[in-house]
């Protein structure tokens, strides 16, 4: 298992270091380890086996555009 520094975890999450510190303060994402010097360490998560959910929002302005709505619903990324 690999430990990540706060900067590495921030990059992994796509957020800033300040955001991770704020999440820690609020109890939203606690570090797995806090060193004797007070440094936060996070355990790297293997995300290759995690299924991702894709959520899409599609709308049209009128009933006459219903065919356009059907086109929007056909997402090329969705199974």
Cite the active site residues.
61
* Helices first, then strands: H and E counts in the chain: 3, 3
The contacts of residue 13 (CB under 8 Å, 6+ apart) are 19, 20
How far from chain centre, in Å, is Cα 53?
11
């Amino acid at each position: 298992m690999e430990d990540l520094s706060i900067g590495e975890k921030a990059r992994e999450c796509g957020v800033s270091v300040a955001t991770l510190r704020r999440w820690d303060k609020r109890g939203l994402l606690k570090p797995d380890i806090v060193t004797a010097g007070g440094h936060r360490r996070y355990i790297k998560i293997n995300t290759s086996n995690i299924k991702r959910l894709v959520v899409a929002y599609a709308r049209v302005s009128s009933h006459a555009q219903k065919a356009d709505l059907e086109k929007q619903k056909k997402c090329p990324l969705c199974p």
